[in-house]
Amino acid sequence: GVGAMAGVREVEIDPEGTFKYILVRLQRPGGGEQRDIVRGTKAAEFHNHIFEKVNPEMEKLGYECKCLGGGKIDHNSKDKKIRVFGLSTGYGKADHSVTVEILKKVYTDYEITWSDDKK
């Protein structure tokens, strides 16, 4: 019901390493409530693998999903640093500045940066 969107975690990324990520917009059909979430994992060889996992999960909750783009995340949990960079060939480049803002809500004590670098 209402408030279910709050139950969707804004960020689900691997705890360590460098991996692909996507920025996904959730929306109630017919407009209204929307939310952007970040998903990334080393298990995904391609960006669409992440989307193909997220999409059915969110459809079950009654959301339409749209991938806003992708890139890579370098997560260094020891130094508490996250770097967002790169792009997705299929989905284009996510707005990394938006991704950083979302990550900051979860990793409050991290240094989080982004760039348009490919590596």
d(CA 86, CA 115): 8
Q: Give me the catalytic one of 47, 49, 75, 96.
A: 47
Ligand-binding annotation for 20, yes or no, is yes
47 catalytically annotated: yes
d(CA 61, CA 38): 17
Q: CB–CB of 76/90 below 8 Å?
A: no
Nearest to 25 by CA among 15, 17, 33: 33
Joined together, the tokens standing for residue 69 give: 């783009």
Q: Which residues are annotated as a binding site for substrate?
A: 20
Q: Which residues are annotated as a binding site?
A: 20
Catalytic residues: 47
